[in-house]
Amino acid sequence: MILAWLIIIPLAGGLAAWPLGRKNAAVTRWISLAALSLDLVLLASLWSASSSQVSLTSGTWLIELNRPWIPQLGISLHLAVDGLSLMLVALTLFLGIVSVICSWTEIRERVGFFHLNLLAILAGILGVFLSLDLFLFYFFWELMLVPMYFLISIWGHENRVYASLKFFIFTQAGGLLMLLSILGLYFIHGRSTGVYTFDYSLLLGTALTPKAAFWLMLGFFISFTVKLPMVPFHPWLPDAHTEAPTAGSVILAGLLLKTGAYGLLRFVLPLFPEAALSIAPAVMIIAVIGIIYGAVLAFAQTDLKRLVAYTSVSHMGFVLLGIGSGLSFPAIVGLAMSGATRNHAGLASGLVNTARMVGGSLGIAAMASIAVSRTDVLVAHGADPVAALVGGSQLALLFAAALVLVTIMVAWTVLRSDGGTVTKLVFDGEPEIEPIADAA
């Protein structure tokens, strides 16, 4: 039941925080922080008990929960965790705590409702990483959507309505395609075996014609790459990331994008291996284009949040090539932006001189995002198989150019953020920075 509690606790915390927010906003914040901290303790106990079995490649379930839910339709409460999902759940809880801290002084209106939506999003993300029933997975996939829409449209910035609608339309359209594919797989499996089920382990062996496998795979693939996002499905991200409150930006860059990558790894490749292999060359080309495209557009940005959005497009292109992205960058940027933002990259200058710890952390996180040695072991080791993958092919030159561009872009970001001085940090009311010109 520990897996179920990981989802129930944030939901219960959000429901408890909502009514209390009308009386005491501080209590609401502490309830959210306590709920996520309790989840983190539960996860730590699970990780400690299973430390010898944790592996990213073994495919062994560390713990599993499988209970009938709607047996007439073949729907079950099937949750499980392996090495991959364990680390993503840990990331979710860590960035969830960061999000609560980011919003501690920023959110001053409808505080209870804000934390209800925040914890509902996190519960949905946890459900996505833990679900092994496709109906349950889709339920949690959609659970992430509506609270994030409210988070952007209510507590966002000037163009929040436009950004939230754009986010909703793109992600809902992708979700509907996945629903059609899930139902198609459900009925094909039922007709061929006589067992109608949404259970992932049973659907893995479904016999599919090449044509059916391709179209079903495409529905999953588009849905996940919209959330990734992959070029050309990315236009929703810069607006949503820019207009969202800081906590929303942290969740978008640090977690929601990762759910798309997780879906590709967990569902598309195992369920449709031949169909996925058939589109691999095209996906690799699009991924490299996305890496370069995101890096180039990041150069033109003066808004720090928008810059992070385009770097996310670029970084997630690397995921399509088979490597993980730097996970610490969104958290540090979120912490930096929470107390001192108009989001303008020029207005963020002088972090090293004014707040040395934050500026230094930003530099370390930026180096981790490009896999500098000793800053991000996961990404650094992940670069080797990608180099082997594209080595000797025509993609090698494009990949090298993309890596150089991303490296230059990250260095440029750090230099712009840390190069000036700041005279005053204003935290009363809407936070802002008043910069002065750099010293000669």
User: How confident is the model over 166-220, as pLDDT tens digits?
Assistant: 999 999 999 999 999 999 999 999 999 888 999 998 998 888 899 999 999 999 9
Residue-number span of the structural domain to which 333 is assigned: 282-440
Do the domain assignments include residue 405?
yes
Alpha-carbon span 113 to 28, nearest angstrom? 9
pTM above 0.85, yes or no: no
Do the domain assignments include residue 202?
no
Do the domain assignments include residue 407?
yes
Q: Is the pLDDT of residue 52 over 70?
A: no
Prior bond to 147 cis, omega within 30?
A: no
Neighbouring CB atoms inside 10 A of 411's CB total 14
Please indicate whether residue 286 or residue 432 has the higher confidence score (pLDDT). Answer: 286
Mean of pLDDT values over 7-28: 89
Answer yes or no: are the C-beta atoms of 42 and 158 closer than 8 Å: no
Of the given ranges (42-46, 47-51, 226-230, 321-325), which has the lowest mean pLDDT?
A: 321-325
Q: How many distinct structural domains can be found in the chain?
A: 1
Do the domain assignments include residue 337?
yes
Averaged confidence pLDDT in the chain: 77
Q: Is the pLDDT of residue 17 over 50?
A: yes
Answer yes or no: are the C-beta atoms of 19 and 92 closer than 8 Å: no
Neighbouring CB atoms inside 10 A of 436's CB total 12
Structure confidence at residue 84 as a pLDDT band (50, 70, 90): confident
Structure confidence at residue 361 as a pLDDT band (50, 70, 90): low
Please indicate whether residue 406 or residue 84 has the higher confidence score (pLDDT). Answer: 84
Do the domain assignments include residue 439?
yes
Alpha-carbon span 425 to 244, nearest angstrom? 21
Do the domain assignments include residue 55?
no
Structure confidence at residue 332 as a pLDDT band (50, 70, 90): very low
Do the domain assignments include residue 11?
no
Q: How many CA atoms are closer than 13 Å to the CA of 11, on its beta-carbon side?
A: 13
| E strand spans, 73-154 | 75-81
Do the domain assignments include residue 58?
no
Answer yes or no: are the C-beta atoms of 339 and 425 closer than 8 Å: yes
pLDDT score for 364: 53
Please indicate whether residue 421 or residue 326 has the higher confidence score (pLDDT). Answer: 421
